[in-house]
Chains A and B, each alone.
Chain A
Amino acid sequence: MNEGTLEIFSTEIKQSSRSFKQKVKERPLMTGWFIVLLIVGFWTVLMLVELVKGIEDPLFTLSESDILFAVFFVIMSKASVETVENTLRNEQLKHYFSAPISIGKILLSRFLKVFWYNLILVAVSVSIVALLIHTFGFNPPVDQYFYYRLYVLVILAPMIGFNLGVMTQVKGTMKKIFLSILYGQHMILVWFVLQSRISDIHIIYYLLFMCSLSLLFLFTSDGLFWEGWKNGTSASTSSENNLRFHAPSELLPDFLDTSIKKIAEKEILIRWRRRESPAGIGVTIMIAAGLIFFYVQLGPSPDLGLGLEGFLYPILIGMGLFLAVTLQVLFPSLSLFGREGKAFWLIKSLPVGPEKVIQGKALAILIYSPIIPLLIALPLPVILSYSIERILFLILSSFIIIFLLTGLGVWSSIKYPNFDESVNGAPDVTTMYTTMVAGMFLSLLFLSIPTAVFRLNPLLGSLAGVSMLLFSFTAFYGFCRRATEHYRMSEMDF
């Protein structure tokens, strides 16, 4: 490690910590609420672990390796997304690339940033978990080697995540797919090592060996890193690019107001060209495939020994729906305004009413949302031979969650905008987590009554579902109204 790397790293950390302090100062209540929700979140996870310990089906028996792989996967995915969004699509990095610093040093400084934040996240998480275990007497199924393996995985996961992020951004679709599949095998290797029957100490040796391989790859991948950054930040110069998405307005109904259509068109084009829409749809497809995978593994009526036989698939479909709406609808809507960055003046100086701006932006998010019920609320229930009423109820439930989370996201995006272009307008972790938990709470609230009624009487339950759909649309409308007010009052002092 050398001076250039450390200087960039310390500058970035200084900048982020100042911005974090500023946000805490501006929003002390929300920060406090975030901490409470974080603790409650970990408490829920520990409760689930306690519950899952009672499962008898060997496929679902929770082992240390499963917990470790879940932690590894979360950290790796987070590192990968951060690498793509905050590094490879970050135009501000041009200042470093134009300075007399080697690409390798810039790469290392960016990796250190990703690594540092993950380390903080794990340290905070482990501290909260330790505190909860001590206070509530939880007894997760782990021994001391669990912690040793955890430490090594915390080092390994950001390395693999960072390298994988770089692979997904290189130029050329085939090259991208080939490299991602090739390198993605590291992830599968971690799974096999963790699940293998060798001794704990040998598992640690293998993981350490993988760490050194990943580190070696990291040190030698400056060419790919440079290619990934260039590809991630460059705009298309070709006017003949037939693959480019040109006419989103054709997807929009004619009766809509022209201003709303044009605002939506702008959002759809940009999100499509930044590959965000295809990525969101891809994630939904993966969730749908995951549900089918569960069915293939467990069969039509799995016996988990928890007395939940009839509920397993509805619970899984419900979780799949929430996850898909969160990833395809909520998270993108959170950066609707922050993403404008320094071009925010353009939309603010237009002779278009705030309500139309909000409606246009919300429409751009909602336009692809029918894919969620189509992929998640249909295939598995059809395979499971659910009745028409049940399938319709699941579709209704999907739209209830979609409207709630879109409204919440749009409101949050203008109430707490993050115009920082180095993170592409993504909201800070406090906003993201708090909104997600609020979305989960609202979804449970809106779905609990119709679901309970549906179990007693499908017809009445469906009617309750339709009423809740109207309520969720009203909530969506209410959130949009509040967002309109915030937008009207917003200023551009940057």
Chain B
Amino acid sequence: MIEIKNLCKRYGDIEAVNGVDLSVESGEIFCLLGSNGAGKTTIIKILIGLLEPTSGTALINGKNIREDVKSKTLFGYLPEQPHLYERLTGREFLDIMGTLKGVKKSRLEREIDRWSEELELERRLDSETGAYSKGMKQKILFINAILHDPPNLVLDEPTVGLDPRFSQHMKKKISDFSKDGKAVLMTTHITSVAEDVADTVGIIDKGRLLTRGSPESLKEETGTETLEKAFVEVIDRERRNP
């Protein structure tokens, strides 16, 4: 379960995140929908302990990640940009990361083989990741996020840079994970992705969470036919009457 209360992050005069409240229950997919620079990634970075909030709290299963190192096993994180160790092979990378996350050796090997086969990576697993395409790096990081079977998933723009086939596969996997009882917090600026997988969509702009609800309820609230139109309507309304 993910719980964010009155979260603020300020850089000098700039308010990157301003009083955000949200919670994601087990089995729920919460999608933060916002324009570029709306504050989505900052919220995620605070949640997983990469940034210190100016005020407010961000908890995963009731734990503040920055204060409790062990609780970092409670989430799996997929970043927007696939930055990893380019001089390690895919297998070495997953072996090191999995071991550091406390996965037992026999299970780790099994999981690496299973996932690399499912994501069609097995033939390149022993090459250095620096030679991978962006999509392949994304796949390796996806395996890294789920390798230790965490109860929560934090996915930052999970479908960006993926080919349509794997994008579809990724969306299906996200739905499967939520059915297994995992809480999923994801960000996107692609409305169709949010419409396809999210139980709850939160629209964020300039660091503020403007509204939230199911895709259907947002469309109803704004009187629009698609989530994309609903998103534009909410943002425009806010900018007309800040």
Chain A interfacial positions (CB closer than 8 Å to B): 234-239, 258-259, 262-263, 265-266, 269-270, 273-274, 341-343, 345-346, 348-354, 489, 491-493
Contact = CB atoms under 8 A, between A and B. Distances in A.
Given A239-B89, A351-B69, A266 B77 contact: no
B99 A266 contact: no
A242 to B, nearest CB: 12
Contacts of A349: 48-50, 72, 77
A275 to B, nearest CB: 10
- Chain B interface bracket (under 10, 10 to 19, 20 to 34, 35 or more): 35 or more
Interface of B: 11, 45, 48-52, 69-73, 77, 79, 81, 83-89, 92, 96-97, 99-102, 125-131
A343 B85 CA distance: 7
B69 A352 contact: yes
A116 B232 CA distance: 50
A235 B131 contact: yes
Nearest to B99: A262
B49 to A, nearest CB: 7
Nearest to B141: A346
A93 to B, nearest CB: 15
13 contacts: A237-B131, A258-B99, A266-B96, A270-B88, A341-B83, A343-B83, A343-B85, A349-B48, A351-B102, A352-B69, A352-B100, A354-B69, A492-B50
Contacts of B73: 351
B101 A236 contact: no
Contact of B86 (A235, A238, A265): A235
Contacts, number: 87
A348 B100 CA distance: 12
A144 to B, nearest CB: 51
B87 A353 contact: no
Nearest to B72: A351
B50 A239 contact: no
Please give me the 3 A-B residue pairs with the lowest Cβ-Cβ distance, nearest first.
A235-B130, A239-B126, A235-B128
Contacts of B129: 235
Given A259-B100, A266-B85, A266-B96, 11 more contacts: A235-B130, A235-B131, A237-B127, A238-B127, A239-B127, A345-B50, A345-B83, A348-B49, A351-B71, A353-B69, A493-B11
A248 to B, nearest CB: 10
Given A262-B100, A351-B70, A351-B102, A346 B88 contact: no
Interface centre among B73, B85, B100 (most CB of A within 10 A): B100
A491 B42 CA distance: 12
Contacts of B131: 234-237
Contacts of A350: 72, 97, 100-101
A259 B96 CA distance: 9
Contacts of A341: 83
A269 B72 contact: no
